[in-house]
Structure 1
Amino acid sequence: MQTGEHPQLQQQLMVQNSSGSLSFNSNLSKEDEEMSRSALSNFRAKEEEIERKKMEVREKVQAQLGRVEEETKRLATIREELEGLADPMRKEVALVRKKIDAVNKELKPLGHTCQKKEKEYKDALEAFNDKNKEKVQLITKLMELVSESERLRLKKLEELSKNIDSLQ
């Protein structure tokens, strides 16, 4: 038999093996029979190898699952301990937060009042400063007028004094 016929023979044997009936054609020679037996034993060896490797992988998976279960238990224990640590403070924290919220509610209108009062203060201060400037200007004007008046009166007095002197 030629080498090109071996794959067909192997395929034929596999088909026959998978269908459950293993019958050989009477046309097969002893060499062909030996080759088919060899192919069949190779096939079985490969199947056994695959099954063995499958079992190895399954065992590794089981071992990994066991470790995962142990780690899951450890993590659950750690989580419980963490929650246990947080519990005593949780109530106090919640109480303080509620108080902060209450104070914030009180602060908001007080803040608005402060802003309003600050604006009123700034407006009043600005008005005060404006009136102060006006007062300073008026005082300056008064002093100028008084000075001018004194100068004019002194001048008039001097004239009168000269007139009196001229009369004599």
Structure 2
Amino acid sequence: MRNLGSSNGSGLSTDEIEDEEMARMAIATFQAREEEIERKKMEVKERVELQLGRAEEESRRLAQIWEELEVLTDPMRKEVAVVRKKIDMANRELKPLGQSIQKKEREYKEALEAFNEKSKEKAQLVTALMELLTESERVRMKKLEELSKNIEPIQ
């Protein structure tokens, strides 16, 4: 319908040439936009892949740290459990020993008290013996003196 324009040597009118040119430009613009979109899409894809790589690396690093934590706490738990078990055993062994000490301390105090009583009794008996011996000596000396006086010649 647009056949109003002039014709060039190829049989196309100027309008047709302009339409064709506009179509080519539109296609070129569309292709340029598509290329730009594709380029941006690739850039975004590269950034996502880069971030995924970082995330995977971070995930591996965190998993390694987690494993190290597990290994680190596991032996300590075992050692702590062993030490606690030994403490419990020592407590169980200490209880009867403590009771034995208390019993032996009571027995010792009772024996010491009995010893001190007997020592005091012995000291009193020794004192009484010394008094008796002294009295006995005095009585014998007196008797000897009397006998001695009786032996003196009678005149």
TM-score bin (small chain): 0.5 to 0.7
Equivalent AA in structure 2 for residue 130 of structure 1: E
Instruction: Spell out the pairing of 1:81-96 with structure 2 (5 A cutoff).
Output: 84-96=71-83
Cα distance in 1 for residues equivalent to 2:131 and 2:75: 81
How high is the TM-score relative to the length of structure 2? 0.53
Question: Is 1:143–2:130 an aligned residue pair?
Answer: yes
Question: Is 1:119–2:106 an aligned residue pair?
Answer: yes
Equivalent AA in structure 2 for residue 90 of structure 1: R
Instruction: Spell out the pairing of 1:24-43 with structure 2 (5 A cutoff).
Output: none
Question: Is 1:108–2:108 an aligned residue pair?
Answer: no
How far off its partner does 1:88 sit?
1.5
Q: Does the C-alpha gap of structure 1 residues 158 and 79 become closer, same or farther in structure 2, counting only changes over 3 Å?
A: farther
Higher Rg of the two aligned structures: 2
Q: Does the C-alpha gap of structure 1 residues 161 and 95 become closer, same or farther in structure 2, counting only changes over 3 Å?
A: same
How far off its partner does 1:84 sit?
4.0
**Deviations along 1:52-110, whole A, 9 cap, x unmatched?**
xxxxxxxxxxxxxxxxxxxxx9x999787555433222101201211110121121122
The one of 91, 100, 119 aligned to 1:132: 119
Q: In percent, how many aligned pairs have the same letter?
A: 73
Cα distance in 2 for residues equivalent to 1:116 and 1:98: 28
Segments of structure 2 that go 5 or more residues without pairing to the other structure are 1-58
Higher relative contact order (CA 8 A, sep 6+): 1
Cα distance in 2 for residues equivalent to 1:162 and 1:101: 89
Equivalent AA in structure 1 for residue 80 of structure 2: V
Cα distance in 1 for residues equivalent to 2:63 and 2:131: 94
Segments of structure 1 that go 5 or more residues without pairing to the other structure are 1-72
Residue 167 of structure 1 aligns to a residue whose secondary structure is coil
Cα distance in 1 for residues equivalent to 2:135 and 2:128: 10
**Deviations along 1:12-59, whole A, 9 cap, x unmatched?**
xxxxxxxxxxxxxxxxxxxxxxxxxxxxxxxxxxxxxxxxxxxxxxxx
Question: How many residues get paired?
Answer: 96
Cα RMSD for the two superposed structures? 2.5
